Structure 1
Amino acid sequence: MKIEEGFVDVTGGKVWYRRVKGEATAAPLLVLHGGPGSSCYALQRLDKLAEYTGRTVVYYDQLGAGRSKGPTDKALWNLNRYVEELGQVREQLGLNEVHILGHSWGTTLLAAYLLTKPDGVKSAIFSSPCLDAPRWAKDQERLLKELPEETQAVIARCEADGTTDSEEYQQAMRVFAKNFVCRIEISPEEREITSQLANLEVYNTMWGPSEFCVTGNLKEFDCTPRLNELRVPSLFLCGRFDEATPESTSYFSSLVPGAKLHIFENSAHSPYREQPKEYRKTVAEFLDEVELPSN
């Protein structure tokens, strides 16, 4: 595989990108990472799509996150600017025709971008989607009740006291994550790198102190009334134990004309980690089907 890395200019700074070039002439796949304020590092497992299918895969770290560069101006940390940034990345990297996969917050960004009616998007993949922040918060309330009572008590007390930066709150979050974010062990190396690349200030500004405490500027985001406007082939993915629950993911997919749904039975919020072969196979088959010549 030939790998190209570099920076492109966007409003507010420069974003880092990675292009894994396949040999096929098929339209590339552009990957939008979760977060906000995270990076594409963990999703680089999708490099194997280029290796096995020949399809070029492109990633980038959003402004303020990962390896991207820019001033720490909170005014830039909002959905509209990230939508603008996505268009700028496509233009500068020559992604005239492209498939787009968003994961978690990346699906929020993807849906908002698609609703601007951009040209050249051949398909959309919503991986563990967050398309209705109030609904997400309600789902997390239900999932929290499945945790041990002592863990629930710590979470409630710390959020009430404003001590969400405490070690006991972080430990409680790890219990939540083990159940609903990633159910397999992540290597110490990956944990360290993802932690170093993350910008928690972006996350807190746009989302909040945790997955289940939504206080940021996305807290009222809900694009479900407009999902019927999406006119590109769409695939919805989630894990059986996902914090992006199968019930909500199924509901979102039902609102998009002709959308497909796939649930990974042994995964939580990270099926690309937990069931990587099935994840890649599902994505590859969908992309190939989209590009089949119509009869």
Structure 2
Amino acid sequence: MSVATALDVPFRDGSTWVQVTTPDAPRPEALPLVVLHGGPGFCHDYLRSLSALSDETGRTVVLYDQFGCGRSSHRPEASPDFWTPQLFVDEFFTVIDRLGLETYHVLGQSWGGMLGAEIAVRRPEGLAALAICNSPASMELWAQAAERLRADLPDDVRAALESHEAAGAYDHPDYVAATQEYDRRHVHRMTTTPQDYLDSERLVEQDPTVYHTMNGPNEFHVIGTLRDWSIVDRLASVDVPTLVVAGEFDEAAPETWAPFVEHIPHVRSHVFAGASHCTHLEQPQEFRALIAQFLKEHDAPPE
């Protein structure tokens, strides 16, 4: 069985909580995988199942809570301009350096895929391959897709969303219930919400600073500092093999991730039928099998 070890990595004036899972039977050619969670600020918990890739592929798997959430240092008093993509790029390289990872793969889910793209366009020497999962290439495209998906909601749900957004009443029970209907269709299409997801949700509710500042009150009402973010015009700089993954009913609709496929030179994509935004929770074995095969193709050659 794999072994999970936690450590705190000093970053800025605080620390980043990191979990390193090492396999019982490591494959020498299998490069470490660094997993980037979404949100921003949603914590690693809902991605815990990806640690199974350690034993399944014989590689080290690294998950961490990004600065400002979960078990890492929190800064609820920080000004909005503190929370930038560059902050999290810097944090990533701090973690990589602390762990001594010279060559590695990156998998990012949702915001994590956006962050993974931000890392890849900088062409770090150690990056071997990138998996962008359920992620948009620009928040304008994300917002446009959200409007289209919202238009398909029942009339009473749309009315609740619109009236409470106009009033700024994002914590009103009717508004919360309306957002949950959107989530059931496009975030996690499951009868019972997995505990891993609930754990992340609980932690972000305890301190929503990063999520509310950068994103907004929920998945589809993006009024935070990321609302104008785009990486479309920089994607040609990505020089590593890239896999783009999405679900058939994903809130990251095809038009949001199409620029990754159109502009990254070495790229392929896969859409999971019947799945939505949390594909890795809805179809865990199939998701991990796809990722495992992609990583294996781009591992270090045997010596």
- TM-score category by the smaller chain? over 0.9
Q: TM-score w.r.t. structure 2 length?
A: 0.93
Which segments of 5 or more consecutive residues in structure 1 lack a partner in the other structure?
none
1:11 match: 12
Residue 222 of structure 1: how far off its partner (Å): 0.7
2:155 match: 149
Structure 1 runs, 4 residues or longer, greater than 4 Å off: none
1:51 to 33, 55, 79: 55
Residue 48 of structure 1: how far off its partner (Å): 1.4
Counterpart CA distance in 2 for 1:102 and 1:191 is 16
Asked whether the 8 Å contact 1:128–1:237 carries over to 2, the reply is yes
- Once the two structures are superposed, the pairs formed by residues 214-229 of structure 1 within 5 Å of their partners are 214-229=222-237
2:27 match: 24
Counterpart CA distance in 2 for 1:12 and 1:146 is 45
2:87 match: 81
Counterpart CA distance in 2 for 1:47 and 1:19 is 9
3-state SS, counterpart of residue 21 of structure 2:
strand
Asked whether the 8 Å contact 1:67–1:197 carries over to 2, the reply is no
- Does 2:163 align with 1:163? no
Counterpart CA distance in 2 for 1:112 and 1:192 is 28
Question: Greater relative contact order: 1 or 2 (C-alpha under 8 angstroms, separation 6 or more)?
Answer: 2
Residue 88 of structure 1: how far off its partner (Å): 0.5
1:231 match: 239
Residue 54 of structure 1: how far off its partner (Å): 1.0
Counterpart CA distance in 1 for 2:144 and 2:150 is 10
Asked whether the 8 Å contact 1:12–1:70 carries over to 2, the reply is no
Amino acid at match of 1:57: V
Amino acid at match of 2:65: D
Using the aligned pairs only, state the percent identity.
Answer: 35
Residue 204 of structure 1: how far off its partner (Å): 0.8
3-state SS, counterpart of residue 250 of structure 2:
coil
Which segments of 5 or more consecutive residues in structure 2 lack a partner in the other structure?
none
Counterpart CA distance in 1 for 2:124 and 2:236 is 16
3-state SS, counterpart of residue 223 of structure 2:
coil
Mark the CA change 1:57 to 1:272 in structure 2 (over 3 Å): closer, same or farther.
Answer: same
* Cα deviation 1:167-198 (Å, max 9, x = unaligned): 11110010000000000134474454223321
Moved more, 105-114 or 280-289: 105-114
Counterpart CA distance in 2 for 1:191 and 1:281 is 21
Asked whether the 8 Å contact 1:239–1:246 carries over to 2, the reply is no
Q: TM-score w.r.t. structure 1 length?
A: 0.95
* Cα deviation 1:274-294 (Å, max 9, x = unaligned): 011110000000011112749
Counterpart CA distance in 2 for 1:283 and 1:225 is 26
Moved more, 111-120 or 263-272: 111-120
1:62 to 38, 63, 66: 66
Counterpart CA distance in 1 for 2:136 and 2:13 is 25
Amino acid at match of 2:116: L
